[in-house]
Structure formats: C-alpha cells, structure tokens
Amino acid sequence: MSTAIGPGRRACWRGWRRSRPFAAGLLLGLGGLELICVSWVGLGFLRFTGTAGAASWALGSLFVVAGVTTWRNPALRYFSGVLAAVLSLVSLVAANLGGLLLGFLLTATGSALALAWVPQQAPAAPQEEE
C-alpha cells in the first residue's frame, strides 16, 4: 500500500502555496519558534530568565501568529510584515540578540518577503478589435 500524495493533491497543494506568501510565513514561524526554543532550552551556558526570557516567549509567539496570518489571510501581509519587521528589531535588544541572531535573521527575511510578495494576476483575456 503506497502512501504517496496523488497528483490531484499535489496540484492542490501547489496552487495553495503559490497563492500566498508561503516562504514569508514559514520563515516568520521558524524564527518565532527559534526564539522560544532558545529561551526554553537555555543552551547550558546562557541563562534566559527574567525579562529576556519573557520577551523571547512573547515575541516568538507574535512571530508565529504573524506567519500564520500571512498564510491564512494574504491580504494582511503588509500589516504582519511591518509588525514582524519592527518586532525583529525589538528582538535584538529585548530577546538576547534576537535568539542569538538566527531568530532575527529568519524573522527579518520573512518580514521582507511578506512585504515584497505580490499576488499573481490572472492573464487578461484578449480583447476583440472591432
């Protein structure tokens, strides 16, 4: 018994992915999870408690929400992109260099992609000349 994805499902997935800023949402979500995980694990030699730990959790969850928002409602990509850009700069100061710079780089790139994404226009029907 094969569990491969059929051609219909693959085409449906591809259409859904291309109709929204998928890479932007993915990077925002990964950056938010990275901020949360770094503060949660602690890496052994750094102690992420207090305001930096709380900021990592708060900012990380906001990045995940911004990433899901870009997927679920592409019309709000400007709002979530600007919010993520501002919060990525805040994470440098408030959340231990934005999750050791990796979270900052992921979220800054994701916010730039969300702001730069433009939906594809349907091809215009040729007009008949009279």
Q: Is residue 123 part of a domain?
A: no
Tens of pLDDT, residue by residue over 16-39, are 888 889 999 999 999 999 988 887
Helix spans in the chain (H): 7-18, 22-41, 51-72, 77-94, 96-100, 102-116
pLDDT value of residue 42: 60
Q: Is residue 18 part of a domain?
A: no
Q: Is residue 9 part of a domain?
A: no
Q: Is residue 127 part of a domain?
A: no
Among 97, 102, 94, smallest CA distance to 50 is for 94
Percent of the chain's residues with pLDDT above 90: 42
Q: Is residue 5 part of a domain?
A: no
The residue segments making up the domain with residue 40 are 23-116
Number of domains composing the chain: 1
Q: Is residue 34 part of a domain?
A: yes
Q: Which amino acid, one-letter code, is at 96? A: N
Half-sphere exposure of 94 (CA within 13 A, CB side): 16
pLDDT value of residue 121: 77
Q: Is residue 122 part of a domain?
A: no
Residue with tokens 């949360």: 36
For 57-63, what is the mean pLDDT?
A: 92
Among 9, 102, 117, smallest CA distance to 60 is for 102
Taking the complete model, does pTM exceed 0.75, yes or no? yes
Q: Is residue 7 part of a domain?
A: no
